[in-house]
């Protein structure tokens, strides 16, 4: 998991997100992007998985706007 997690943490840190939040949200993002393909395999509902991923992206972008350093 760390091989997936560290690059996302680094991106968050580069955007000015405080370290504890950068790591927690990176872990959440990795979990979602690893879990949705399993959901697709189990349910075979591409639209539902796509909708879930787009919803996560919207949430993540909003979170970055709230926690990233201004101008980063």
Please tell me the distance from the alpha carbon of residue 38 to that of residue 10, in angstroms, as a whole number: 26
Please tell me the distance from the alpha carbon of residue 19 to that of residue 42, in angstroms, as a whole number: 35
> In the 8-state DSSP scheme, what is residue 68?
S
> In the 8-state DSSP scheme, what is residue 45?
-
Helix, strand or coil, per DSSP, at residue 18: coil
The per-residue pLDDT for range 14-41, each reduced to its tens digit, is 999 999 999 999 999 999 999 999 999 9
Whether pTM > 0.85 for this model: the answer is: no
> In the 8-state DSSP scheme, what is residue 44?
-
């Amino acid at each position: 998991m760390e091989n997936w997690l560290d690059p996302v943490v680094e991106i968050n840190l580069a955007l000015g997100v405080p370290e504890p939040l950068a790591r927690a949200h990176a872990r959440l993002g990795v979990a979602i992007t690893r879990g949705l393909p399993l959901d697709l395999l189990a349910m075979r509902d591409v639209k539902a998985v796509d909708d879930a991923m787009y919803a996560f992206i919207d949430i993540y972008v909003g979170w970055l706007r709230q926690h990233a350093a201004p101008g980063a």
